[in-house]
Amino acid sequence: MLKKIFGLGSDEEEEEKEQEEVEEEIEETQEEDDDDGKSLFGRLKEGLSKTRDGFVSQLESLFRSYDKINEELYEDLEEILIQADVGVQTTMKLVDDIKEKAREEKIKDPNKLINILQDDILEMLNQTEEDDEQPTILMVVGVNGAGKTTTIGKIAQRAKQDDKDVLLAAGDTFRAAAIEQLEAWANKVGTEVISHQEGADSAAVAYDAVQSAKSKETDLLIVDTAGRLHTQSNLMDELEKVKRVIEKESGPMKVEVLLVLDATTGQNAVSQAKLFDEAVDVDGIALTKLDGTAKGGVVIAIREELGIPIRLIGVGEDLEDLQDFEPESFVDALFDF
């Protein structure tokens, strides 16, 4: 949940109770929204059962077609992983590993390889839960069109629903109508936006927003930034500057950086994560557009190589289309074609 992730949590004792409540809510919301077929939780559940079935049948049929473990089987597995954008190196690593385990543990049953492979990927993803309740400044960064502004709207919506005070900062002063776009989301969610003119200094917007957040004791300030390619060093410098200003002014607020990655992206996402991390120290990743057919398998390598955890996923264009990243369902979906 967002509160755990970005330090918006309430008292610890409440956590468990909350969990139950949330589950109840899931049921309720689902019933409520079943007819429009568009509710988050309805979709989530539907999505999960779909991917689980898909996963099981896809993999099972794959493994069933082999009565013993052989080279072709491994090649098929490689193929599946590559097609999920897991990348050559990670794929080879995973497959080498299950090969070795199969040998060591004298595994004869192809089916058993499923579990090993899944466990391996889960281990690579190695999700850690953050649990901190400080008011937070969340700086959202990423390449052009990744889904930053939309994700900000969604996060704001979520925090709002958790009764948090949310403030947005229109830090993309570059792209045409970027400010209006954020304002549109803010209107929908019902939050305030701090903005300057198009072409203004992004750091100045951030500065003002942080001051405002501090004086209003806002729980969550989300700073939008202009999309930029990670290779544009002048723009990356500018981003560093924005973060410096935020950190300098943050006072009691915690500063976190969320990198938004488009799940449609292939291996270039590794480079994106690396360079954004170098510039502004990324704390977590939001993986967007998982409602398409792309799998986003590249985040496994990112998690492994750079240690950046995946926190959120985007599954649509509406405010409610945001979910926590669930490693298990993510791994299931990798194999669902």
Partner 1 sequence: MIFEGLAEKLQDTFDKLKGKGKLSEKDVKSALREVKLALLEADVNFKVVKNFISKVEERAVGKEVLDSLTPGQQVIKIVNEELTDLMGGAQSKVEYASDPPTVIMLTGLQGAGKTTTAGKLAKKFIKDGKDPLLVAADVYRPAAIKQLQVLGERLDQPVFSMGDKQDPVDITKAAISRAESNGNDVVILDTAGRLHIDEELMDELSQIKAAVVPDEILLVVDSMTGQDAVNVADKFDDTLGIDGVVLTKLDGDARGGAALSISSVTGKPIKFAGVGEKLEDLEPFHPDRMASRILGMGDVLSLIEKAEEEMDQKKAQELEEKLRKNEFTLEDFMDQLEQVRNMGSFKEILNMIPGVGNKIKDLDMDEGQLDKIEAIISSMTKEEKRDPEMIKGSRRRRIANGSGTEVQDVNRLLKQFKQTQKMMKQVGDMQKGGLGGKMGGGGNFPFFG
Ligand X SMILES: Nc1nc2c(ncn2[C@@H]2O[C@H](COP(=O)(O)OP(=O)(O)OP(=O)(O)O)[C@@H](O)[C@H]2O)c(=O)[nH]1
Using CB atoms within 10 Å of the CB of residue 15, give its burial: 0 to 12 exposed, 13 to 18 middle, 19+ buried: middle
Is the Cβ of residue 69 or residue 260 nearer to ligand X in the bound state?
Answer: 260
Instruction: Give me the least distance between CB of 209 and ligand X, in Å please.
Output: 17
Q: What are the structure tokens assigned to 68, written together? A: 């013993």
Residues 324/300, Cβ–Cβ less than 8 Å: no
- Select from 147-155, 215-223, 240-248, 292-300 the region that touches Mg ion (CB under 5 A): 147-155
Strands 136-141 and 254-262, sheet pairing:
parallel
Exposed, middle or buried, 75 (CB in 10 Å: 0-12/13-18/19+)? exposed
In the complex, the smallest distance separating the C-beta of residue 247 from partner 1, rounded to whole angstroms, is 27
Helix (H, G, I), strand (E, B) or coil at 286: strand
**Window contacting Mg ion (CB under 5 A); options: 45-53, 114-122, 129-137, 148-156:** 148-156
Q: Is residue 178 close enough to count as binding ligand X by CB under 6 A?
A: yes
Q: Is 142 in the site for ligand X (CB under 6 A)?
A: yes
Q: Does 314 bind ligand X (CB under 6 A)?
A: yes
Q: Which is nearer to partner 1, 136 or 288 (CB)?
A: 288
Report the nearest approach of partner 1 to the CB of residue 82 (Å).
5
CA distances in angstroms from 157 to 149, 223, 283, listed in the order given? 12, 15, 21
Instruction: Considering the complex, state which of residue 8 and residue 189 has its C-beta at the smaller distance from partner 1.
Output: 189
Establish whether 227 is an annotated binding residue: yes
Closest by CA to 321, choosing from 136, 141, 153, is 153
Smallest distance, Å, CB 277 to partner 1? 12
Side chain identity at residue 265, one-letter code: T
Would you count residue 185 as binding partner 1 (CB under 8 A)?
A: yes
Nearer to partner 1, 77 or 253 (CB): 77
- To the nearest whole angstrom, how small is the minimum distance from the Cβ of residue 138 to partner 1? 20
Which residue's CB is nearer to ligand X, number 84 or number 322? 322
Give the burial string for 77-99 (b: 16+ CB within 10 Å, else e).
bbebbeebbbbeebbebbbeebe
94 annotated as belonging to a binding site for a ligand: no
**What is the distance of C-alpha 114 from the center of its chain?**
25
Q: H helices within 105-222, ranges in order?
A: 110-125, 148-161, 178-189, 202-216
Q: Does 173 bind ligand X (CB under 6 A)?
A: no
- What is 45-61 written as a DSSP string? HHHHHHHHHHHHHHHHH
Per CB under 6 A, 47 contacts ligand X: no
Are 191 and 167 in contact, with CB atoms under 8 Å apart? yes
Q: 39, 51, 118, 181: which one contacts partner 1 (CB under 8 A)?
A: 181
Residues in the annotated binding site for GTP:
142-149, 224-228, 288-291
Footprint of Mg ion on this chain (CB under 5 A)? Answer: 148-149
Footprint of ligand X on this chain (CB under 6 A)? Answer: 142, 144-150, 172, 175, 178, 227, 260, 288-289, 291, 314-317, 321
